[in-house]
Amino acid sequence: MSAPAALRELLLSRIADVPDYPKPGVMFKDITPLLADPAAFGALTDALAGLCERHGADKVVGLEARGFILAAPVAVRAGLGFVPVRKAGKLPGTTLGQSYELEYGTAEIEMHADALKPGERVLVIDDVLATGGTADASLQLIRRAGAEVAGVAVLMELGFLAGRQRLEPGLKGAPLEALITV
């Protein structure tokens, strides 16, 4: 479900389009103006915290790095624990790792193996859903830890990259919430 029109407009107005970054042909969605506006950042945090409640989340997982910026205040606002999913090699404890396909090549993300309890319901939060590869890998980590996926929530879905379609099998019926779709 997308956000109410007034919130969508506020959020969209604070996301900058940066052409040809980080490489030619990519339109980068820069959320730093949104983060710099406490009213917009607060409204985003409230909306995502509301999704934690609606979907019965017990924990919030944030995806490095921009996902951390959004997910951490949401977890505090929702009164839930925050779990970081990091790029490989950054977590000190025993980890579960999951590699995934990028547009070119592969990448790997990791989560502490004991970060989630079996049966806990987890909401995954990130800023952008593009091809869906990162979010899909996080769902595999959550399930391998024995936890349940309450849903995935993103600020912005890039509809033309069909990440929703890529993510659908991994969601297994859990919701994908995008406050804005472009």
Ligand X SMILES: O=P(O)(O)OC[C@H]1O[C@H](OP(=O)(O)OP(=O)(O)O)[C@H](O)[C@@H]1O
Ligand Y SMILES: Nc1ncnc2[nH]cnc12
Binding residues (CB under 6 A) for ligand X: these are 63-67, 126-135, 163
Nearer to ligand X, 13 or 32 (CB): 32
- Taking CB positions, which residue lies at the least distance from ligand Y? 130
Q: Does 128 contact ligand Y by CB under 6 A?
A: yes
3-class SS at 106? strand
Please list, in sequence order, all residues whose beta carbon lies within 8 angstroms of the beta carbon of residue 25, skipping any fewer than 6 positions away: none
Which of ligand Y, ligand X, none interacts with 84 (beta carbon under 5 to 8 A by kind)?
A: none
- In whole angstroms, the minimum distance from the beta carbon of 135 to ligand Y comes to 11
Of 111 and 135, the one with the shorter C-beta distance to ligand Y is: 135
Stretch that binds ligand Y, among 26-34, 71-79, 86-94, 108-116 (CB under 6 A): 26-34
Distance separating alpha carbons of residues 147 and 60, to the nearest angstrom? 12
Q: Name every residue whose Cβ is closer than 8 Å to that of residue 81 and which is 6 or more positions away in sequence.
A: 58, 59, 60, 75
Is 103 tagged catalytic? yes
- For 125, how many CA atoms within 13 A lie in the half-sphere containing its CB? 32
The residue among 26 and 162 lying less far from ligand Y, judged by its C-beta, is 26
Q: Is 121 in the site for ligand Y (CB under 6 A)?
A: no
Residue 130 CB partners (closer than 8 Å, separation 6+): 158, 161, 163
> Which one from 14, 86, 103, 148 is the annotated catalytic residue?
103
Minimum Å distance from CB 166 to ligand X? 8
**Nearest distance, CB of residue 127 and ligand Y, angstroms:** 7
160 binds ligand Y (CB under 6 A): no
Residue 36: phi and psi, rounded to 5, are -80, -5
DSSP code at position 160: G
CA distance 78 to 84: 16
Active-site entry in 14, 66, 86, 164? 66
Q: What's the CA gap between 105 and 166, in Å, rounded?
A: 17
Give catalytic residue positions. Answer: 66, 103
Interacting residues toward ligand Y by CB under 6 A: 26-29, 128, 130, 158
